[in-house]
Chain A
Amino acid sequence: MIENRPGLNILSHLVLILGVVVVGLPLWVAFVASTHTATDFMSGTIPLLPGPHLIENYSRMLDSGVSTSGTPPVARMMLNSLIMALAIALGKIAISILSAFAIVYFRFPLRGLAFWCIFVTLMLPVEVRIVPTFQVVAGLGLLNSYAGLSIPLIASATATFLFRQVFLTMPDELVEAARIDGAGPMKFFRDILLPLSRTNMAALFVILFIYGWNQYLWPLLITTDAQYYTIVAGIKRMADAVDGLPQWHLVMATAVMAMLPPVAVVIGMQKLFVKGLVETEK
């Protein structure tokens, strides 16, 4: 701040408070709706303050869900989401750190080609190759399975590049000292490289967990068995209620529960989250 202008400061606070309110509005409305009963919406608009049915609505969704929409209980969907998100995040980190290690610390024929193969994945998001990817996964018999939900999504150029960058900034002398100390490549990887990349891995994990949890199109395509529905994909099936009007209080309770884990991760690990976000874009 350069000069002291109280007016400008108040204006800034006003802008920010307005922003926080606008950004927070959907969450508030969803939360409020999730604490009422279906009949509270009949009057025409939804109430603006929380009602008394919070525990009732949430426990009902967690335990049994809405049978008419064909979705399993929310607890089941959250478990599926958790498995998928963890598998994607850990899988991506594991295969990326190994490839980055190979690319940075070895020279071998066709190294450039391998690098480009990984780079190309940046340009091929699921959305542009939906049908053939579905056919491959169906052909491999991976429909309705956790493997099918996660494995096709764990190749990652971004994470590989991140680790490559991290490794490139590590001093050469560390490898040399390790070699003189009698450490072979895998020992060096385990004893030196892995511990030194710990914070990068944690930051990346935060970003990838959110990425995995929030997957929508892919689980929608390959799960037809309700037992494998993830919460983000399931919520839409719930909103498309077969018998006309969706039960908004229950849909909103589900939406709040769908948001909770990733939002908690972002807020609880804000520092790592920001680090991960900035690093993956370098």
Chain B
Amino acid sequence: MASITLDNVGKVYPGGTRAIGDVNIQIADGEFIVLVGPSGCGKSTLLRMVAGLETITDGEIRIGDKVVNKVEPADRDIAMVFQNYALYPHMSVRQNLAYGLKNRRTPKAEIDRRVNDAAEILQIGQFLDRKPRALSGGQRQRVAMGRAIVREPAAFLFDEPLSNLDAKLRVTMRLEIKELQKRLGTTSLYVTHDQLEAMTLADRLVVLNAGRIEQIGTPLEVYRKPASTFVAGFIGSPAMNLIDARAVPYLPGTAHAGTVGIRPEDLTVAADGPIEMQVQAVEELGAQRLVHGHTAGEAITITMPPTAPLSDTLRLTAAQDKLHLFDRQSGARIE
């Protein structure tokens, strides 16, 4: 077990393109950190830099107290779970689990013990002598996790481990990963593009955009106080409404802001509400209803109970403490 520190970490490709810039993250021992962002934001690259699969051009990465910038992946005491699992197709599940230990010259009895423990935790005992191709997607996923567990590493690195599974299995495995991490208490760094997955798994979220950190915080902090318009639009579903402040001059306290953000669930229908919304489309989700429309040319979406009355025009209101204000130029939050 160990903490992981990223100190001004950056990466510039030989061609001069910057992939990652000025990343600072302190991960405490046992913490579950999720790197989240749209595809191409550099989150996988950052994870692979921690793993030692990509070179680091600036800054310093420490695992525990040890600077690992130039250390081989095998010597970093980390284990990784890949998106496509990367199980060795010609080896049985048992051999897959044991391979890393064997290369480290772990005694035979110790290997057997760890493999059996991992198999029990993950309930893959009956598959130990099968080849990966004889397993279902969910089972392969468990074997990939098992390969990480048997190593008893200082940290787990997960690279979108659930994105090859169907939606239902994804939810089950998500819960299992969370539970497993709690139980083992191993420091974990997890990459995903799915903000829901990020919210549910993370002790703390790191939101990345274009190779830079937009915000670090607990899921609720990030949700309640998004640090920028990017985070505001990325975290939460349906996404926060981001309205040009000039379209809603009547909202109190917004005079100095460029953009006003209001979450769909914070906009409520009220006969005397200041915002007038022209309804364009309605999506029935069963438990609630999404209503899309616009006000003064700005698109907005609200959620409402499925039984509430609908009309072509709705009057809406929002509590002042539910308004998020952002700077017009930088997009940064204004308190």
A residues sitting closer than 8 Å to B (CB atoms) are 171, 173-174, 176-183, 187, 191-192, 195-196
Contact = CB atoms under 8 A, between A and B. Distances in A.
B86 interface: yes
Interface stretch (B4-12, B96-104, B258-266): B96-104
Nearest to A191: B99
Contacts of B84: 171, 173
A176 B86 contact: yes
22 contacts: A171-B84, A174-B86, A174-B88, A176-B48, A176-B86, A177-B86, A177-B87, A177-B88, A179-B52, A179-B72, A180-B51, A180-B52, A180-B74, A180-B80, A181-B74, A181-B103, A181-B147, A182-B100, A191-B99, A192-B88, A195-B90, A196-B89
**Interface residues of B toward A: which range?**
20 to 34
Contacts of A180: 51-52, 73-74, 78-80, 100
A188 to B, nearest CB: 10
A195 B53 CA distance: 24
A171 B88 CA distance: 10
B223 interface: no
Nearest to A177: B86
Contacts of A196: 89-90
Given A191-B99, A196-B90, A179 B74 contact: yes
A179 B157 CA distance: 14
Contacts of A173: 82-86
A174 B87 CA distance: 7
Contacts of A177: 80, 82, 86-88, 147
Interface in B45-85: 48, 51-53, 72-74, 78-80, 82-85
The B contact surface, by secondary structure, is loop
A142 B103 CA distance: 43
Count chain B CB atoms within 10 A of each CB in A171, A174, A180, A183 and give the residue with the most: A180
Interface of B: 48, 51-53, 72-74, 78-80, 82-90, 99-100, 103-104, 147
Nearest to B148: A180
Contact of B103 (A171, A183, A195): A183
Contacts of A187: 103
B86 A171 contact: yes
Contacts of A174: 86, 88
Contacts of A195: 90
B98 to A, nearest CB: 10
A187 B104 CA distance: 12
A192 B87 CA distance: 11
A179 B53 contact: yes
A182 B104 contact: yes
Nearest to A181: B100
A189 to B, nearest CB: 13
Contacts of B83: 173
Contacts of A191: 88, 99
B46 to A, nearest CB: 15
A176 B100 CA distance: 12
A5 B267 CA distance: 72
A182 B74 contact: yes
A187 B99 CA distance: 11
Contacts of B73: 176, 179-180
A180 B103 CA distance: 10
Given A173-B82, A173-B85, 16 more contacts: A171-B84, A173-B83, A173-B86, A176-B80, A177-B80, A177-B86, A179-B53, A179-B73, A180-B74, A180-B79, A180-B80, A182-B100, A187-B103, A191-B88, A191-B99, A195-B90
B247 to A, nearest CB: 48
Contacts of A176: 48, 51, 53, 73, 80, 82, 86
Nearest to B83: A173
Contacts of B79: 180
A160 to B, nearest CB: 23
Interchain residue pairs A-B with the least CB separation, the first 7: A173-B86, A181-B100, A182-B74, A182-B103, A177-B86, A195-B90, A173-B82
